Amino acid sequence: MSGEQRFIDFLKARIGLDVGSVGMAVVERAVRQRIASASAADADAYWELLQHSGQERQALIEAVIVPETWFFRYPESFATLTGLAVERLASLAGSRPLRILSLPCATGEEPYSIAMALLDAGIAAPLFRVDALDVSPRLIERAQRALYGKNSFRGEQLSFRERHFCALEDGYELAEAVRQQVRFQCGNLLDPALLADEPPYDLVLCRNLLIYFDQATQEAVFGRLKRLIRHDGAIFVGPAEASLATQLGLQSLGIAQSFAFRYPDAAARVQPAARAPRKPAPPRKPHRQPAVEPARAAEGRAPLAANHGHRPQPAPAQDLASQLQAIASLADQGCLAEARQGCERLLAEHGPSAEAFYWLGLLSDAAGKPDEAQGFYRKALYLQPQHREALSHLAALLVAQGDLGAARRLQARAALGVDKDA
């Protein structure tokens, strides 16, 4: 099956997939599954079926796509988005609703999170609309049902669930008031006519998609997204895509952990937005990036300023989880030296820890020490080979260095880890 270049070419043409980003094994497994499900005699018979059945073409695409999403993923992005929304609404002065786009939207957690964040910030429903697109009709149907299991709710603070969901025997149903704010439809970002009749959007979220494309497709997608965004709008990408956005000419808003960018013609005219209040977004788990973006994702920015305010210290005798939470809190407050000391203390008390090495990697990355960061990420992966965040951040560093082959191999490992958890 490894020689079945026709299936690779099909997926590249239909959804822009770079097979190196997920690994040939993922494609081979998907083709085998569909051959069995379609009761095709062999790969040749299945290929013939694929040419004449739109339903089967979609089924193969969905067998390769493994959506990994949950509510308020990357909370800082939603805090920043809320702040930008408030600013834009003030400038609009009621002339029209705010327009926001989420793609790919998968099973709906991202666009519904946008709606919840804005409603929780006190923005009235008529003042904004969220459009949500995905290539998969099956995922769109699930999103429209708005029924979610426990895996869609991650983190320690889930107060939004009590405000916006009704508990059922087998999950949670989203409130109608939130559902009405999101309009779902099928769409392919590679389609030149996508949303051609729609006016441009104020804010666009396109996260964790571009890493699966080859360079030519990435450039084409960024060009298409530019058409969909207002000249002064903002686009949010995934953490592993920040370096890619910078390489393709976008300019960071300079807001920590938001991974928010503008196209250069707007960035020269618009001042970066102030950090949004954190109220709409739930608190983060320890498993994330400190409140600084890596220097590679925002070249030319001023050096990180030291935090001269109150510097809380982690308690000396804490269990592992508490120490990780303390490290996260220190990093969020900009106390990077203290966060690093917390990591070193944890290692001294508990021995080698993938999480501690991962945090040291993030802190080194934020301090503009990519080589040191790589070493810590690799230590984390030695202890926990499928540590998704370490894989993603190490891949981003390798992309910045031009080592695309190694970066794609790491991205493929991360994708396989997601597949195992699905």
pLDDT tens-digit map of 219-265: 888 888 999 999 999 999 988 788 788 888 899 998 888 889 998 86
Angle, to 10 degrees, between the axis of helix 388-400 and the axis of helix 370-383?
150
Q: Which of 95, 54, 418 is nearest to 240 (CA)?
A: 418
Q: How many Cα atoms within 13 Å fall on the side-chain side of residue 270?
A: 23
State whether residue 43 is helix, strand or coil: helix
Q: Cβ distance 295 to 301 under 8 Å? A: yes
Phi-psi region of 39 (alpha: psi -120 to 50; beta: other; left: phi over 0): left
- Provide the pLDDT for residue 30: 86
- Provide the pLDDT for residue 119: 96
User: Is pLDDT above 50 for 4?
Assistant: yes
Digit-coded pLDDT (tens) for 322-363: 898 888 878 767 788 898 999 988 888 888 888 998 999 888
**Across residues 273-290, what is the average pLDDT?**
42
**Across residues 116-120, what is the average pLDDT?**
96
Match 């597949």 to its residue by tokens. 419
Residues 253 and 35: their CA atoms lie apart, in Å, by: 47
Q: All domains of the chain, ordered by start, with CATH?
A: 5-64 (no CATH), 75-267 (3.40.50.150), 295-421 (1.25.40.10)
List residues bridging with 204 in a β-sheet.
Answer: 101, 235
**Across residues 370-388, what is the average pLDDT?**
85
Q: How many Cα atoms within 13 Å fall on the side-chain side of residue 332?
A: 17
